[in-house]
Structure 1
């Protein structure tokens, strides 16, 4: 079954399966790449060094360590966009973000990251 989980302040679409061996979670490659880029962007805010050469496993270990030292969970940095949208576009962006329970800025960042991955592959 498809489900969205929140890992380190980032919503990730995944597939959950329950079998004889227990619960398993599969995250598609493109979502793993998006999570990786998110962690590279966010971890320095929590005093962890992350580079483009860091593996996803290393980044997750750093994120777990960061969250263990916090009283809560990591959050995606809020950005103020340096430009304005047409009102219709802004409304669509806000509605789409609300449906996914994220901010419009977070949605825009994800759209850009996804498009970037498509172009770079």
Structure 2
């Protein structure tokens, strides 16, 4: 069963599998890479030291620690993009973002991250 889960303020597409009464959550590798990039970007804002060499496991441990310290949930920083879109493009972006329960900026960041992973990865 495909399902979108929120991990540390970041929505990740995942798949829930139940085998012999045991629930497993699987996250595709490209989504794990996107989550990793998100955590690298966000954790310093919560006072955690990270670098490109920090593993996903370490990032998740730091994120859990940050959320326990906050007694709440981390959130993706809101960015004001320094450029304007054509009105019809902006409407499509806002509509697509709303369908995914994201802000338009968050959707743009995800699109850019996925394209970056395709090119660099």
TM range (shorter): over 0.9
SS of residue in 1 equivalent to 2:90: helix
Q: Indicate the larger mover: 32-41 or 15-24.
A: 15-24
Structure 2 partner of 1:54:
54
Deviation of the 1:71 alpha carbon: 2.4
> Aligned runs of 1:2-41 on 2, under 5 Å?
2-20=2-20, 22-41=22-41
Deviation of the 1:107 alpha carbon: 0.2
Q: Could you list the runs of 5+ residues in structure 1 that have no partner in the other structure?
A: none
Deviation of the 1:51 alpha carbon: 1.0
SS of residue in 1 equivalent to 2:75: coil
> Aligned runs of 1:57-76 on 2, under 5 Å?
57-76=57-76
TM-score, normalising length: structure 1: 0.98
SS of residue in 2 equivalent to 1:5: strand
Q: What per-residue deviation string (whole Å, max 9, x for no partner) do you get for residues 77-115 of structure 1?
A: 000000000001100000000000010000000000000
Q: What per-residue deviation string (whole Å, max 9, x for no partner) do you get for residues 10-51 of structure 1?
A: 000001011125110000000000000000000001000111
Q: Could you list the runs of 5+ residues in structure 2 that have no partner in the other structure?
A: none
**Aligned mates of 2:54, 2:21 — CA distance in 1:** 31
**Aligned mates of 1:38, 1:50 — CA distance in 2:** 12
For these two proteins, the number of residue pairs brought into alignment is 121
TM-score, normalising length: structure 2: 0.98
| 2:117 is the counterpart of 1:117 | yes
**Aligned mates of 1:23, 1:45 — CA distance in 2:** 33
**Aligned mates of 2:42, 2:97 — CA distance in 1:** 20
